[in-house]
Amino acid sequence: MNSETSIFDKKTAGLFIIILIIALTARIINLELRPLHHDETVRAFMIQGIADGNPWKHHMGFHGPFLFYANALSFKIFGESTFSLRIAESIFGGLIILLLIPIRSHIGNRGFLFSAALIALSPALIYFSRMTIQTPFILFFELATVVFAFSYSNSKNPIYAYLTAISIALAFTVKETTYVLLGMFGPYLAVKFILSLFRKQGRIRKKTKLFKANLSKWKMRLKNNAPVIISAILLFLVFYLIPYSSFLQELENVKSSLGLFQFWYDRVQYRHTKSVDYYFKIVLDVEFIPVIFAIVGLIYSIFRRNEFRTAVSYWSIAAFSVYSYIPTKEAWVFPHILPPIILLAGIGVEGVYLELARKKRFVGLGKPVFTIILIYFLAAYGLLAYEKNFVSYSAESNSLTYVQAYPDVEKIVERIENLSFKKTGGRDLDIVYAFEEDYPLRWYLRDYKNVAYYKGPVGGIYGWNGTTWGGEGSISWADDEVQSGNRSVKISSEKGVDGSWLQVVNATGGREYTLSGWVKTLNIENINASKVAQVFIRGGEGSTIIGESPSLTGITNWTFFEIPFTLPEEENTIRINLAIGGWGFVKGTVWYDNIKLNDARVINPDFEEGRREGQYPGVYIISDKLEYSLEPDFAKRYVKETYELRPRVPIIVYIRKDLL
């Protein structure tokens, strides 16, 4: 090894520290600039529940527990904010540079610094370190796995074996794409092992005696290293099982996690599928600079081959090929391709310096010129990172974005907050939110006490959305039958209908609740429905039913029902459905009244308030679609403001005139 590349001198150490500071600064500075993404706010509610003391419960679609516990700790330290929701990702995204230190001597000092600078300035790595997502965590532990595994192979120091086992375990607690990394290196290690059985003094020889002798050596190595292997396996189990079991509080999580590979494999066949050249397009947009130098590194590795360069070259080609082949492709998956490419780029830069040193006549001019070229490319890379992360972070032209919310989201929240404090002195303003999707605004409005959410056009009753999903029937506010007060709700059909009154209530996952109320029926007859005249409860949209009242048929007087249930850990809403049918049709009439829920607020539980009876909430937030529009006589009391939730998705805010 060239002494110039093996000594970690003060100059190299000083430059590395500067690069590390730049990396952390680029990820942490102005961390709240970008409005929260839809997925970030969904995770935020789950993180909030864990920070409140609820154990994490495994849900296939939300991957492993690491992100949730890391951010719950951040909530505990910093409180709830956009900053605290992203700071853990930012720190891991910057500290990944430290993993280059164990392999510095294999890259060379200049290549080591260049690779560190590429990580620090990478537009894609910065972008996904500035949001609540698994990407920076999984990249950290995947790179740690490769670095420590190679370090163990090279030094046989058992510490590296233990660190490899821990890194693999923690990678699995982040995301199931760990299978992809292990799957990529499986064939490489298998071929390497087979070749080692026929190798003598660095050359391959086809001799039976040599094969048997080398096989015996491998058996002896396994025997001698048995304590290290057993210890590594135990460490893997500890660092996998403890987080996955929510620190031994939810052992069912571990069993559930065993199905992750099949779930992931099935999901990537149909979800977010794109053409095979998708990642190549992202490279051309934001990551062409490391790829240019990686090509140089690949050429250098072919002609100046050693074990490390061969492994990195294989990893670079395999990662790009495998992730391009997998049908599911998204911008947040793209960063998995970058670590080996960036390492290979460092190898390329170091190789150019070494080759220039070998050609004596180029030493005087070649090195300074090449250094200037590197500085130019790094400066261009840094400017590109700034533009993608701090200027066009929400633009459709930015290949890193995925339904990123526009800054208008925070303008809406600020507008509502000013109005609410002006009118009520706090967050007590009445708000009606009628839109196809709740997030990200549901998170921003989480502290407002009087928000009614409709998953569709605003109905005639404050807080409740009446819908018929099929068949023929009427859904109405009723005063002909009441359990108490002056109003109830009614669903009626002579031919058969599938309908319900719905309210979505904010709640905390993992907690026990009890929903109660009253129901009355008249001539209820089931045609083909799985639900008849009954109440059923879900968590998020599309989730399974977690509680229901008994089915009622025929004629019944006002009947009290009570439904105890536990909201799943991953959920943050309760969907109350007061139904006549479900997945089929029912004839007859059903009335509901006085719906109550312990430890969570049901808006207008007795159905006494209706907008046609003089109820005029302070703010309406609705879709621009025609069916969501406020009636003209109603709208005249409001001032209309138009914003954009994200590209080509307008969102309308109606503000009652007396608030202005």
Q: How far is CA 461 from CA 326, 466, 490, 498, 617, in A?
A: 48, 8, 12, 19, 12
pLDDT at res. 5: 46
Return d(Cα 296, Cα 301) in angstroms, integer.
9
At 218 the pLDDT is 78
Task: Look at residue 204 in the predicted model and tell me its pLDDT.
Answer: 55
Spans of the chain below 70 pLDDT: 1-8, 199-208, 360-364, 436, 454-460, 541-543, 610-615, 626-629
Span 561-600, pLDDT tens digits: 999 999 887 787 899 999 998 778 999 999 999 999 987 7
pTM of the model: 0.81
pLDDT of residue 455: 57
Could you tell me which of 503, 382, 367 has the C-alpha nearest to residue 432? 503
- Amino acid, single-letter form, for residue 498: D
**CA 403 → CA 394, 570, 647, 648, distances in Å?**
8, 22, 8, 10
Dist CA 86 CA 388 (whole Å): 18
DSSP 278-294: HHHHHHHHH-HHHHHHH
Two structure tokens written together for 247: 């620190």
The whole-number pLDDT of residue 468 equals: 79
**CA triplet 59, 63, 68: central angle to 5 degrees?**
90
pLDDT for res 612: 41
Cα 267 versus chain centre, distance: 15
What values do phi and psi take at 323, rounded to 5? Answer: -70, -30
Residue 205 neighbours by CB distance under 10 Å: 11
HSE at residue 72, side-chain half, CA atoms within 13 A, is 18
Helices and strands, counts by H and E, the chain: 23, 15
SS3 per residue for 93-136: HHHHHHHHHHHHHHHCHHHHHHHHHHHHHCHHHHHCCCCCCCHH
Sign of CA dihedral 128, 132, 133, 139: positive
The SS3 assignment for 175 reads: coil
CB 584 within 8 A of CB 498: yes
Distances (CA, A) of 89 to 92, 132, 174, 405, 443: 5, 7, 12, 19, 19
Q: Tell me how far apart the alpha carbons of residues 385 and 49 are, in angstroms, rounded to a whole number.
A: 34
